[in-house]
A and B are shown apart, each in its own frame.
Chain A
Amino acid sequence: MERTLDPAVLAAALGVYRPDGVLPSPEALLETITKLEIAAFRTEYEVADETVGTAWLLHGLAALNPEAPGFDRARIRHAFAVSAHVLDLALADERRSPADRLQIAFAAQAGYRRCEQDPNATAVYRRVAHLVDTEAGLPTHIGTLAVEAGVAFLGLDRPALVGALRTWRRQFAELGALLGRDRTSLAGTMFGPAEAVVEAVHHLQLHLVLGEAEDLRAARELLVSVVEQRVGQGDRLAPWVAAHLLELSGELADSSLYRLLPAGTPGAVARTFALSSPPVMTLWPPQRELLRLERGNPVDPATARSLISVPTSAGKTLMAQLVICSHLAQREGRVLYVSPMRSLGREMRAALRGRLRGLGYRLAAERPDFPVDRIDFGHGALTDDVEIVTPERLMHMIRNNPEATLADVGLIVVDEAHHLAQGRRGFVLESLLAFLAASTYEVRLVLLSAAVGNRAQLASWLEPDRPPQEVVFTDTWRGPRRLHGLIYPSLLKDQAELSPRRASKKQPSTTKATVPVAMRLDLRPTAGSQVAHLITGRLGERTFAAVNSWEWNARTKLSGGIANYRVFAAGAAALTKAGSVLMVVDTKRAARDTALAIAEHLDERPEAAALTEYLADTLGAEHPLVRCTRNGVAYHHGDLPDDVLQAVETALRENELLAIASTSTLTDGVNLPVRTVIIHSGVDGDQRHYEGQRQLLAAELLNAVGRAGRAGRESEGWILLTRPYPPTSADFDTLTPDTDQLTVASALLTEEALADLAAAEERLRDDADAVFALADSISADFAAFVWFLLEAESATPALSGEQGRLAPVWRLLAMDQDGGMAVAVRWHLLAMKVVEVYDRTNADSARRWTTTGTSLHSARLLDGLARDLSRALAEQHAQEPPADPATAWLTATPEWSLERTLDFLAEHDIFGQLLNLPEAARAWHFTTRERAGSPVEVPVTAAVRSWVTGESIPRLARAWMPGIPAEWALEQAVRCISSTFEHVLSWTLGALINLVNEASSHEPGTPLLNPQTAWHLRHGVDTEQALTLLTSGITSRRLAHAIGSDAATHGIHPADLRGWLSSQDVDGWATSYSATTYEIDDLLDYVRTPSNLVNDLVAGTTVTVQIRVLLPIGDAPATLVRPSSGSASIGIHIDGQVVATVPPDRHLDVLAMLDSGFDLHHRLRGSDLITSRANLPGAALRWP
């Protein structure tokens, strides 16, 4: 916002002011734009013709030669920026005709591109995409076609652009064909200019996708022919569009990955980014700067350590993808992408899947943090090229097997690295990085964050031997504008009504004032602007025991009345008219209640029907989330299952949802298309928050704020902070934390950590063995980390090099940041206590206690329990009749079935015992009511059995809590499944079974517990086939269970599952398993036979795909028909008749080929589909 609402910028753009001139003064224009911005909050979008005229003049001024007197490049940039801003606002004015809006959009896009606000050009495209006409015939819209082509091109939404170009080029070709003879173009006619622009756009997009110079040259020639007006008259818009595209073509080419990736990077890297989703045809300014770095370039495989610190909306996620793909293309070694937030991990997974597919690399399927067992380390696992993990999962894998986990890793990318500072989870990350720093593994490290104040310090920690500026890349660039506001429940005192009441001891007044409540909104478009006040109508009322208005406050407030969150929820609902709203709240309960309150103000939303149906199926129709989504609202927090969270995130991205209330689970790094963010949470350091609210850390605030106006989706974002009191101007500062507040400090140095350290020191003063008593605290985590280091060094001395086995402790960030070293020494002394105990501990025990990932306290308990169970197994085995020697070899590894393992665990009440560990504190608890309810006993063992059989959550809830209202029962069931089965119980059970089986393996003949039991528990399925699906990228438990049961019934071995599924057809999946569109996408990826048809076509090769013939045809030209609502398969047509389909295992690759934008020629020969690149008549046009 501040970029153009700055008098200096406006003055520079407008030039010398002439009182009677055409252009307004900078002050007048500033006032106009400010008023427009504020009016938008009232959903008033009318922009006067005069203001739009000013914007057009600024647009035209920028056509001047920068060498002209009184003119320079800065003025051109400012003129473009201001005109784009105003025209962008005018786009919302629905009085304007479609033709006007298209022209306004293109002018805004061109302006945004020229003032380096590239993503706003894409955001503008999204607002007028519906005006880009691919349905009507050419004559109907030939007058605006050139603009439509320009708008679509600058939107850089490649799939949509390719689709539009395909239609238009076909239409031109058909018209040309009507003219017949040797006609090769429509140049010289009224169609000539638009045809040349369309053809130029086709070549430009091909250039950005394939990097071939010939396409750029062809595009430029065509554009010049239009601007020189050699290709036809009458089309007044085409030369204007062509002039801009000509001017931009060089910049666009320079912004493409072909020009920016380091020399030697295979072209396939740039190509895969252009062809996969979301398509990347050009990079944004900070991304370009990053790739141009001469020293410390993180895309250079020689760079060992990097910290990328750019604001949200600067394209950080794409930077991470570029680093990953470039690494794979240039250097040996797998890549681990570490994200503390699972939602961010899911987003990265969705993006990387397509990128890697185009490069022929594999992305590991999503795995839970726990358990870690042979699925991770056996059967050829860890061979995928990229794996997306949380710090917890990575650390757990390293604890179990550092060598197998890290030996082949070449690069680790840590996203949202400021999480280093966030409590015990932060310490996991810190210890991971310290371990890597001290180890001898040659792993490159790239950290990313939008919220690091002490970049130089972190850089020195990461790479002590290089100057920070060669480690850190930072840039202040940001795409969308931002507008800050404060909201507050305001009493409409002049509308109060007084009535008599009976005095009470607490409230002696005999008058009750009933006062309507509205929401006040204070807006400050720029730091220098006056604050504007807006107020809604009445949203509810409150009552006070007092006559005088000055006494209407918390002290006299009577119970009842509209709660604050309901006031803000009503405001949020109103703001959805301008775009989607994210409301960040401090608790899970607040997220739910807020979402429900927003939903009350909105109508049923048909676009969210599919999500609602899915959630009703998964969670039960009475679940409160389902009530919200019906009206296009959802909530998001850590107690909801992963597949539900993923569905909600996808729906928000697809614009199916209008509003969402979430805790900070959704705000760190996730790219969501949100127009408005409302922060209804305390903020660290802010004294004026609501009582009892959780305080958002400065980094969390920055990330939450960063969701507003996501680049490429919105050109403007609104950020509103709720206030408990009438706000003042100073409150706006709360939204912009300073560098000090963004210091990333070790979690070991916080006040809480030091208090915990002091308590640990006290316990350990006389008894080092008290390290086993440390539990559920950061000192326990620290002790477990030290224990792991000692064990790792013992097993593989080379791990810690020559610096001794506690070297990684000295590489902790805490040691770097503790200037006086007093605290560092104290932690080190604690480490020495751990050493003392470790050295006294039996080596085997020491090793086993490392692997659990729990505190040492719990590890020792689990180990004891494991030994007991192993003995019980041996005894049980001894009591069983001896096996027939003739067949004994068949059961040399007597591994129990899941069923028998569960029976055994139940018999020993293992689940109950695991829930007593400190790690499981309060994970499994139920009450009769949400507030002041009595405890309800739900036997965990029986619950585990029913969960594992694949029973649906609604049925589980009914069975576990009969008589409890369905909504509350469902909420509790979902929470407990998520926190217990999917987390702590599968984690500790996995660790336990590993320990049991290890102990049993020393006793020949003793059976082993089913090693996948914890995975079955984690996923809630009972067949190996379902488990195979869920550990191979299928996210829906319901689908996996349905397919798994079917496969098991048909006797399909898990290893044959892929082929079996592929032998069915895509439409069959939908009917047999009720697979949704999302689920079909997952299945298609699972069954895919890797190939790269697009690369083959680029290389000029003809590609052949074996297809499924429905109607035998010898040899004929064919047409491919994309999946539609009628059929999820790709149909192969001859003369309008479906004669074959593409089998599921080739579906994605054939689709990618169709979406490539190439002109393709298909031929069906027997059961082969033969495809080559061809030229439409229009592609080989001769131009005057």
Chain B
Amino acid sequence: MTSIPAAEALLHAGSAGGRLADLVQQQDCGAEQKCPWSLVRAVGLAEEKRAAAAWIVADEIMASRTGVEHQVYSLWREATLAGTKLTGTDSTLVYAFAFNVFGTPSAISGEGHGLPGYVGEWLWYLTTRDLPPPAGRSVEFLSAPGMEVRDSGGDGLIIHRVAEGGPELVFRLWEMKKYTGAKPNLTPTITGAWKQLTEHGSRYLAQMSWGGRLLDPDIGEFVSGLVGHWVEGHPSSGGGVSVATNAVNIPQGRAFQLAHKHFPTHTHPGAMQGLVVAVDDLDDFAQAVRGYVWSAL
């Protein structure tokens, strides 16, 4: 966990560009595979840059949760940056908005609450949001991480508008996993994630088909048909697996090369996509994020 105060982390973040995307490197891999994949690395960062990345994630989480309630966001941010503790009503308010992600400050446990996985979801979200989309595509919808950590991993959805050729709108259902194990082998995690995409992803997709039906008119109609496209294996539908992991676990050779065997229902070109987000010591990084969130409480 970093010892750099939030205010200092903010300065470093600002000097780097202010976005997580400014602190990572992206590399496309496996172009020849049925399932190409990307590697996003926040590896080898200096301590201040690593602190800046953790601060950006913490700040994004709290901004998302407080939304238009600038009073609470400001309370948290100002106290965090000033290195002071909130008390009384102010503490109660911030606590209410921060509670269910990270547990309570008095009950912090090292590995509990699926913390690295949840931070991994935010890494997927922020890098997907801020890094440029694939050529010829624009992002029409990107699901923000949910409010709560799920032990089984999170789901994500992105809808692209395609400039030319094929369906005008395409979506990809993402299954997000974290791997912080000792053995440098992501394959079991990736394999499990493809299976979960089929089994658990169905729920998210179904809920999204209903819950997103009143998004902007053309998107809304497309969203209401997500499951229809999915079960038909329609070219507009695709699956993705994202794994957040430690830098030491970055695949040295190939990865995702057998994805089509574990996800055989969608066979059209571009049906599958992989993503590995690598951070030096993901567990420690996640705790740094949590540390910034809780530092005012």
Contact = CB atoms under 8 A, between A and B. Distances in A.
Contacts of A99: 148, 150
A584 interface: no
Interface in A232-261: 232-244
B145 interface: yes
Interface stretch (A59-67, A385-393, A899-907): A59-67
Contact of A140 (B100, B198, B221): B100
Nearest to A57: B202
Nearest to B264: A20
A103 B203 contact: yes
Interface centre among A18, A23, A49, A234, by most chain B C-beta atoms within 10 angstroms, is: A234
A49 B226 CA distance: 20
Contacts of B89: 178
A56 interface: yes
Contacts of B82: none
Contacts of A53: 198-203
Nearest to B233: A21
A262 interface: no
Contacts of A244: 210
Nearest to B148: A143
B227 A190 contact: no
B28 interface: no
Given A188-B68, A234-B64, A63 B210 contact: yes
A240 B215 CA distance: 12
A142 B101 CA distance: 11
B199 A234 contact: no
Contacts of B221: 65
A755 interface: no
A230 to B, nearest CB: 10
A228 B215 contact: yes
B206 A236 contact: no
A189 B92 contact: no
B96 A175 contact: yes
B147 A235 contact: yes
A192 B211 CA distance: 15
A63 B227 contact: yes
A240 B67 contact: no
A244 B203 CA distance: 15
Nearest to B93: A178
A1134 B46 CA distance: 62
Given A234-B146, A235-B147, A242 B211 contact: yes
Contacts of B147: 142-143, 190, 234-236
Interface residues of A, number: 57
B227 A179 contact: no
Contact of B224 (A57, A65, A175): A65
A64 B66 contact: no
A64 B95 CA distance: 40
A190 B67 contact: yes
Nearest to B61: A234
| B72, B96, B99, most chain A CB atoms within 10 A | B96
B207 interface: yes
A186 interface: yes
Interface in A894-935: none
Contacts of A140: 99-100
Contacts of A54: 202
B72 A179 contact: yes
B214 A227 contact: yes
B209 to A, nearest CB: 4
A60 B201 CA distance: 11
Contacts of B69: 179, 186, 188-189
Contacts of A65: 221, 224-225
B213 interface: yes
Interface string B201-240: 1111111111111110000010011111011110000000
Interface in A110-143: 137-143
B137 interface: no
A224 interface: yes
A68 B225 contact: yes
Interface in A161-189: 175, 178-179, 186-189
A107 interface: yes
Contacts of B145: 234
A72 interface: no
B265 interface: yes
A190 B148 contact: no
A460 interface: no
A61 B224 CA distance: 8
B231 A15 contact: yes
Contacts of A49: 199-200
A526 interface: no
A821 interface: no
Contact of A18 (B146, B150, B201, B233): B233
A229 B215 contact: yes
Nearest to B90: A178
Nearest to B98: A139
A60 B210 contact: yes
Given A190-B66, A224-B214, A240 B207 contact: yes
Given A107-B206, A189-B97, A192-B67, A23 B231 contact: yes
Contact of B225 (A64, A235, A237): A64
Contacts of A186: 69
A528 B278 CA distance: 56
Contact of A233 (B92, B99, B100, B144): B144
Interface string A1080-1093: 00000000000000
A432 interface: no
Contacts of B84: none
Nearest to A16: B232
Contacts of B65: 189-190, 234
B25 interface: no
A50 interface: yes
Contacts of A60: 202, 205-210, 226-227, 230
Contacts of A30: none
B68 A187 contact: yes
Given A189-B69, A243-B211, A57 B93 contact: no
A64 B215 CA distance: 15
Contacts of B72: 179, 189
B202 A56 contact: yes
Given A56-B206, A192-B67, A234 B144 contact: yes
B143 interface: yes
B235 to A, nearest CB: 14
A239 B200 contact: no
Given A175-B96, A189-B69, A22 B231 contact: yes
A175 to B, nearest CB: 6
A290 interface: no
B209 A63 contact: yes
Contact of A240 (B66, B211, B225): B211
Nearest to A230: B214
Interface string B12-23: 000000000000
A52 interface: yes
Interface string A86-116: 0000000000000100010001000000000
Given A60-B209, A103-B203, A179 B64 contact: no
Contacts of A227: 211-214
Interface string B90-119: 001101110110000000000000000000
29 contacts: A20-B265, A21-B231, A21-B265, A22-B233, A22-B265, A49-B200, A50-B198, A53-B201, A53-B202, A56-B203, A60-B205, A61-B227, A61-B228, A61-B231, A63-B224, A63-B227, A64-B228, A65-B224, A137-B96, A186-B69, A189-B65, A190-B64, A224-B214, A228-B215, A233-B144, A234-B144, A236-B143, A236-B207, A240-B210
Given A99-B148, A240-B210, 17 more contacts: A18-B232, A20-B264, A53-B202, A56-B203, A56-B205, A57-B231, A59-B206, A60-B226, A63-B213, A68-B225, A103-B207, A186-B69, A190-B66, A227-B211, A232-B67, A234-B145, A238-B211
Closest 7 CB pairs of A and B: A60-B206, A188-B68, A239-B211, A60-B227, A139-B99, A143-B148, A240-B211
